[in-house]
């Protein structure tokens, strides 16, 4: 079986699919990742064969184009989306689909996949499935409660273009949707006529790296601070400073801050109990932590859930606040969505203190971790995908 993996040009949209790609390869199937350089790099780092299509997208440039100097996007008042089904999250990828669908189709015709696995926002994958008559499986990378609306919008906005390229009939939907968000955290979305949604165990892939020596041994009171490299690049280093100052005000806490090395000097000096490291896969040390402070990114959120950790969420972009709200409802997190509260060390310190002292957060977090462990692994899904192609 040949399986073509496709993703919108954002590494965080692609990396959740890597464990499934590994599972298919180890089961003896051919795998190829097709995408722009933004996802080809992570694919090659993960040991997966890839075909480069188009130029670098560079989402950072698009976000910073109108960002006021010295302000984080959420400080500018237009960064957070509280509606998890908002089409504002979908429209950029709908428009982006127009530019590379021909190139994707040419590659697919040459390689001849039997199955396409894609990020739900890469609408070219559905086009290829319709053109080649092969099933498409969507693997969600985020909280998704938009139902059928994105595909209906794609049919309305891009239907004529798809037809000109040879698609007969309307753009098909996926045959199956995979969701790694634990059901107790995922909220029900709108009912529709879409495909079945299957829960899949989240297997963390946070890139490659080695465990820093200081993190090799457990330490009481260790709290991970992972606000994302994008947050730092978008004028967010002062936020890192605020969180460090807040946690250093708690005597029994040992913060571990993951921050790209290019920002370490701007962060400034830290206390003896604080360790600052470059980006490192969270799965390498979260089992030694008592809690996590993060921005609500999907990978960080689900990895923290997998390790059964209470979480303090400081959302910055997109629907990270939706993740935070879902975690709060599940009883394992607190969220500070207001930028003014995020920038106040006393407020952050009080939230962290409550998160660590109230055992109910840890109990709820452990329940979610147990739930995730009970879900089928990517390897267990392979026979179902084989049967889907055979049918």
Please report the DSSP string for 132-193 in residue order: HT--EEEE--S----TTHHHHHHHHHHHHHHHHTT--SSPP--SEEEE-S-TTTSPP----S
**CA torsion angle 259 265 268 270 (round to 10):** 60
Using alpha carbons only, what angle is made at residue 204 by residues 230 and 121, rounded to the nearest 5 degrees? Answer: 60
Give me 110's structure tokens: 């040459």
Local structure of 11: helix, strand or coil = helix
Q: Tell me what pLDDT residue 52 has.
A: 97
Give me 126's structure tokens: 């559905």
Q: Tell me what pLDDT residue 181 has.
A: 94
From residue 86, give the alpha-carbon distance in Å to each of 66, 83, 106, 146, 157.
21, 5, 32, 7, 17
CATH of domain 2-201+375-390: 3.40.50.2000
Other C-beta atoms closer than 10 Å to the C-beta of 316 total 26
Q: Tell me what pLDDT residue 70 has.
A: 85
Rounded Cα gap, residues 335 and 353, in angstroms: 13
Give me 121's structure tokens: 């926002």
Average pLDDT of span 321-347: 96
Q: Tell me what pLDDT residue 336 has.
A: 97
pTM: 0.92
Average pLDDT of span 165-174: 93
Local structure of 290: helix, strand or coil = coil
* Domain residue spans of the chain: 2-201+375-390, 213-373
Over 90: is that where the pLDDT of 232 sits?
A: yes
- In tens, the pLDDT along 113-142 reads 999 999 999 999 999 999 999 999 999 988
Q: Same fold for the domain at 2-201+375-390 and the one at 213-373?
A: yes
Q: Tell me what pLDDT residue 385 has.
A: 97
Q: Tell me what pLDDT residue 195 has.
A: 80
From residue 155, give the alpha-carbon distance in Å to each of 5, 120, 273.
22, 14, 55
Among 72, 65, 163, 175, which residue's Cα sits nearest to residue 114?
A: 175
Instruction: Please return the burial class of 238, using the count of CB atoms within 10 Å of its CB with bins 0-12, 13-18 and 19+.
Output: middle
Average pLDDT of span 85-105: 82
Specify the DSSP class assigned to residue 232. I
The share of the chain scoring above pLDDT 70, in percent, equals: 94
Average pLDDT of span 302-318: 95
Average pLDDT of span 231-243: 95
Over 90: is that where the pLDDT of 175 sits?
A: yes
Are the C-beta atoms of residues 54 and 100 closer than 8 Å to each other? yes
Q: How many CA atoms lie within 13 A of 133 on its CB side?
A: 3
Q: Tell me what pLDDT residue 142 has.
A: 82
What's the CATH number of domain 213-373, 3.30.720.200, 3.40.50.1100, 3.40.50.2000, 1.10.3720.10? 3.40.50.2000
Lowest mean pLDDT among 74-78, 134-138, 351-355: 74-78
Q: Tell me what pLDDT residue 262 has.
A: 96
Residue located via tokens 């020596």? 213
- In tens, the pLDDT along 252-277 reads 999 999 999 999 999 999 999 999 99
- Strand pairing of 311-313 and 333-335? parallel
Rounded Cα gap, residues 271 and 244, in angstroms: 9
Are the C-beta atoms of residues 243 and 225 closer than 8 Å to each other? yes
Reported as a pLDDT band with limits 50, 70 and 90, residue 81 is low
Higher pLDDT, residue 53 or 143:
53
Over 70: is that where the pLDDT of 8 sits?
A: yes
Q: Tell me what pLDDT residue 78 has.
A: 58
Rounded Cα gap, residues 299 and 2, in angstroms: 27
Rounded Cα gap, residues 123 and 289, in angstroms: 39
Q: Which residues contact 65 (CB under 8 A, 6 or more apart)?
A: none
Over 70: is that where the pLDDT of 188 sits?
A: no
Average pLDDT of span 294-305: 95
Over 80: is that where the pLDDT of 165 sits?
A: yes
- In tens, the pLDDT along 362-379 reads 999 999 999 999 999 999
Over 90: is that where the pLDDT of 180 sits?
A: yes
């Amino acid at each position: 079986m040949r399986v073509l993996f496709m993703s919108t040009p954002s590494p965080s949209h692609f990396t959740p699919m890597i464990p499934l790609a590994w599972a298919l390869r180890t089961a003896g199937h051919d795998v190829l990742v097709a995408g722009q350089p933004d996802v080809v790099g992570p694919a090659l780092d993960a040991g997966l064969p890839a075909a480069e299509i188009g130029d670098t997208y560079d989402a950072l440039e698009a976000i910073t184009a109108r960002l006021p100097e010295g302000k984080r996007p959420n400080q500018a008042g237009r960064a957070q989306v509280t509606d998890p089904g908002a089409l504002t999250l979908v429209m950029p990828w709908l428009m982006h689909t127009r530019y590379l669908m021909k190139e994707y189709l040419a590659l697919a015709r040459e390689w001849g996949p039997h199955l396409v696995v894609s990020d739900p926002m890469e609408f070219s994958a559905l086009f290829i499935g319709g053109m080649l008559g092969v099933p498409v499986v969507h693997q969600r990378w985020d909280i998704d409660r938009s139902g059928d609306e994105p595909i209906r919008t794609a049919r309305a906005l891009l239907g004529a273009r798809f037809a000109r390229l040879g698609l007969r009939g309307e753009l098909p939907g996926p045959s199956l949707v995979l969701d790694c968000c634990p059901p107790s955290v995922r909220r029900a979305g709108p009912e529709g006529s879409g495909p079945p949604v299957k829960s899949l165990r989240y297997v963390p892939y946070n890139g490659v790296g080695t465990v820093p020596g200081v993190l090799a041994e457990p330490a009481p009171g260790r709290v991970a601070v992972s606000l994302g490299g994008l947050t730092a690049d978008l004028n967010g280093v002062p936020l890192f400073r605020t969180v460090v100052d807040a946690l250093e005000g708690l005597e029994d806490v040992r913060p571990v801050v993951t921050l790209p090395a290019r920002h370490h000097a701007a962060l400034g000096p830290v206390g003896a109990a604080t360790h600052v490291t470059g980006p490192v896969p969270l799965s390498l040390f979260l089992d030694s932590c008592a809690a996590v402070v993060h921005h609500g990114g999907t990978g960080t959120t689900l990895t923290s859930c997998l390790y059964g950790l209470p979480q303090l969420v400081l959302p910055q972009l997109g629907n990270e606040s939706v993740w935070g709200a879902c975690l709060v409802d599940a009883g394992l997190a607190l969220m500070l969505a207001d930028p003014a509260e995020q920038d106040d060390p006393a407020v952050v310190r009080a939230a962290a203190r409550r998160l660590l002292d109230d055992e109910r957060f840890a109990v709820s977090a452990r329940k979610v971790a147990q739930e995730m462990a009970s879900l089928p692994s990517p390897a267990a899904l392979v026979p179902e995908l084989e049967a889907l192609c055979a049918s």
